[in-house]
Amino acid sequence: ILPFVSVNQILLLLLVLTVCAIVYNKVHQVPSALKSETVDLESPEEMEEEIPVVICAAAGRMGAAVAAISSIYSNTEANVLFYIVGLKTTIPHIRKWIENSKLKEIKFKVVEFNPMVLKGKIRQDAARPELLQPLNFVRFYLPLLIQKHEKVIYLDDDIIVQGDIQELYDTKLAPGHAAAFSDDCDLPSTHEMVRSVGMQNTYMGFLDYRKQAIRDLGISPSTCSFNPGVIVANMTEWKHQRITKQLEKWMQRNVEENLYSSTLGGGVATSPMLIVFHGKYSTINPMWHIRHLGWSPDTRYSEHFLQEAKLLHWNGRYKPWDYPSVHTDLWENWFIPDPSGKFKLTRPDS
């Protein structure tokens, strides 16, 4: 009996030792796994993801681009890379403005836009000639200007950002969508303002439904439009779907057939985008694009509403650097005077 008991005891001891060894290993492996995860979470690559923001610097309104950049930079800790797009004649001015002001700390690249890409694609329109400026069409050519980024933010120059641009960058795009925009029917608090100044927020206001080519699209004229002054774009999908080629096709058709014009709603840059992206775009949080501040020199939003807004857009004729305009104080908070003195604000007492 004694040998039998000894064997059982030995087997039991071995079992206990095996269990102890397994437990020991598990206990001592957990901290190393947690440590490696912590390192990954805090790695510079994760924390320093670059957010590319494209803004145009047009002659006569460079102060707008400067104020927009100033507002974005001041309200985020994110790693923003500004792509400042200009024409050959305007680039030295904007570069000097940035390098000789408090914006010299920003990360930026100046990109020259060649207006020759637009040759034969823009129908001359006397109603609002400012809408035919070449830089209005930069948003059509994002993949040609931005090479290394998967996701890009495009902003018109007449905006101010009051929130953290990281939130806008984190906008989710549905699979197969090349861009996200703000729907013009998205914010009930703006509807009264839209009605009061006669703004259009449907396709009827942008496209000429008397033309067969427009009717053949099969888009109801009462379909809600969107505003391409703020875009979150997926460059892979944009290239895959050949968005730029599609936009150019409609620009050329407009030259030949006059399918839309600036006498309608949003001029010549919005209309091709409404056609190409119809039913194929994601939406931006409404508070990230409060629009129409430039449509009337008299109609104002409530101050409380504007303080809650993440992004303000003075789309329309009445710009905050000119006179008359509304809510200019919110814009001037971020304006940085031109060191060269060329750009000056227009004010009642100036």
Structure tokens at 267: 């001029």
Distance in angstroms (rounded) separating the CA atoms of residues 238 and 135: 19
Distance in angstroms (rounded) separating the CA atoms of residues 164 and 152: 15
> How far out from the chain centre does Cα 259 lie?
27
Residue 32 falls inside a structural domain: no
Q: What are phi and psi of 87, to 5 degrees?
A: -90, 165
Residue 305 falls inside a structural domain: yes
The structure's pTM equals: 0.84
Residue 347 falls inside a structural domain: no
The single-letter code of the amino acid at 17 is L
CATH number, position 311: 3.90.550.10
Residue 300 falls inside a structural domain: yes
Structure tokens at 305: 């509403």
Structural domain boundaries enclosing 65: 51-333
pLDDT, position 299 = 84
pLDDT, position 9 = 72
- Exposure of 65 in the CB half-sphere (CA atoms within 13 A): 28
Residue 126 falls inside a structural domain: yes
Q: Each residue of 166-193: pLDDT tens digit? A: 999 999 999 999 999 999 886 655 555 5
pLDDT, position 205 = 86
pLDDT, position 6 = 66
Residue 229 falls inside a structural domain: yes
Residue 276 falls inside a structural domain: yes
> How many independent structural domains does the chain possess?
1
Rg (Cα) of the chain, in Å, rounded? 27
Residue numbers of the chain with a pLDDT score lower than 50: 1-4, 26-27, 29-46
Q: DSSP readout, 78-137?
A: SEEEEEEEE-TTTHHHHHHHHHTSGGGGSEEEEEE--GGGGTTT----SS-GGGG-GGGG
Residue 346 falls inside a structural domain: no
Q: Which helix (H) or strand (E) holds 56?
A: strand 50-56
pLDDT, position 316 = 87
